[in-house]
Amino acid sequence: MVQFYSPNRRSVNRGIISVTADNLDAQGQGIARHQGKTVFIPGLLPDEQAQIQLTEEKRQFAKAKVVKRLSDSPHRVAPHCPHFKVCGGCQQQHVAAELQVKTKASVLEHLIQRETGISISAHPIIRSPEYGYRRRVRLGLQYHAKQRTLLMGFRQSQSNDLVNIKHCPVMRPELEQLLHPLYQCLNSLHAVKRLGHVELVLADSGPLVVLRHLAPLKQEDKEILCVFSVQYNVAIYLLGDEKSLEPLMEGQTAPWYQVNGLKLVFSPQDFIQVNDVVNQKMVAQALEWLDLQPTDRVLDLFCGMGNFTLPIATQVQATVGVEGVAELVASGQYNARLNKLNNVDFFHENLESDIHQQPWAAQGFNKVLLDPARAGAAGVMAHIVKLAPEKVVYVSCNPTTLARDSKVLLEAGYHLVSVRMLDMFPHTGHLESMALFSSEPMEIE
């Protein structure tokens, strides 16, 4: 038999080794050193000793699993969720909240220092309730043929299989208490085998459910859903395909939430921030950093449905929001009228294409806010510099692209004044942040 040599193939030492973790990464993995190599170990906390087994080995690092933990850190706590370690939704419920946020802030500070050479603190941290913070969740639905029952829940860690969720303490209590009756309702439908997913959303106007069904629902199923809707005071929307959202019953009130004293109506499919507590603090921090004045003209890029745009508009001469999703732009325009804000314009434009020909780009602004997706804002950074605003607030869901885009502003002479870590998703590896840049030197916070 012919054997082929693969220079990239690395044998993994399957023996048991003993290590002591000396740090934690943003994903909640313990970091240890073995024979000069960094080893990442899920479930191990700093200062804990364990017997581990390598599961993957690269030139610069390795991954391992705990075989036996030999000591416990004072930062180890009992997870609240019975599905922890099986469900892939949370990774850090075994880590005390203070260590979680301290680690994420440290990771953010390290990335900025490494990419920009600037040493800056990400404190004070914008904190979240430890549990009961998620006002929006999407649960997968799978019919288990052998057991003749429905599975409703999140994906297992590193798997496409669902964990049948009965409790979820990171959900808002008003949503968590719907899990069991909603499961019973969906499991009783004739179309139970043809369901895709279900979303639960807690608006300030009340809870709502969006049900994705892969085949038309019979009248009997709609009647079952109507009974659930009335009994639990939940608005239900049916999603036959990605563009056919329909209310189950006529007369359902459109959902809305409040931010900075404004009422924002949204479609159940619109993006809204999952963590309302942090969203309120984040918007307030952005307004404070921008130091808004009645004569300001403010540009809000990647503006969504106006979560920042509309609160800004209450304090300035004019505000422009630019967003690539048409439905969100329509929601923003509607909410501007609803709140009687006549100094706001929304533009539906692709900010990843050539922005110089876009109509908003010909206008002048003295302050800018941007809240891009994980890919960052590389396509607009040069134009922001061209605008020469006094202040720029960058809200980020990816510290790597924040650090990358920061360099464009810094090279143009801007000063990094302040950074905040946002505890938007406790018990997960998601790291949200925001940064303030100024064209004039300011005291670093």
Q: Which residue has the tokens 């993995």?
A: 29
Burial class (CB in 10 A: 0-12, 13-18, 19+), 5: exposed
CA gap 301, 349 in Å, rounded: 10
| Cβ contact 204:256 at 8 Å | yes
Q: How far apart are CA 22 and CA 32, in angstroms?
A: 6
Distance CA 392, CA 390 (A): 7
How many whole angstroms separate alpha carbon 101 and alpha carbon 290? Answer: 25
Distance CA 342, CA 11 (A): 66
Coil, strand or helix: which one is 439? Answer: coil
Element (DSSP H or E) covering residue 277? helix 276-290
DSSP for 408-437, written as a single string: HHHHTT-EEEEEEEE--STTSS--EEEEEE
Active site residue 397: yes
Instruction: Compute the distance between CA of residue 192 and CA of residue 217 in angstroms, rounded to an integer.
Output: 10
Residue with tokens 């990094």: 416
- Residues 113, 329: Cα–Cα separation, whole Å: 36
Cβ pair 245, 238 in contact under 8 A? yes
CA pair distance 264, 283, nearest whole angstrom: 14
Return d(Cα 328, Cα 269) in angstroms, integer: 10
Residue ranges of the annotated binding site are: 81, 87, 90, 168, 273, 302, 307, 323, 350, 371
Distance CA 107, CA 104 (A): 5
The residues that bridge with 420 in the sheet, in sequence order, are: 434
Amino acid symbol at 414: Y
Name the β-bridge partners of 432: 422
Q: Tell which residue, 377, 385, 367, 383, has the closest CA to residue 308.
A: 367
Binding-site positions for [4Fe-4S] cluster: 81, 87, 90, 168
Among the listed residues 185, 226, 303, 397, the single catalytic one is 397
For 35-178, where are the E strands, in sequence order?
A: 37-42, 49-57, 61-69, 136-144, 149-155, 162-164
What residue numbers does the annotated binding site for S-adenosyl-L-methionine cover? 273, 302, 307, 323, 350, 371
Q: Which residues are catalytic?
A: 397
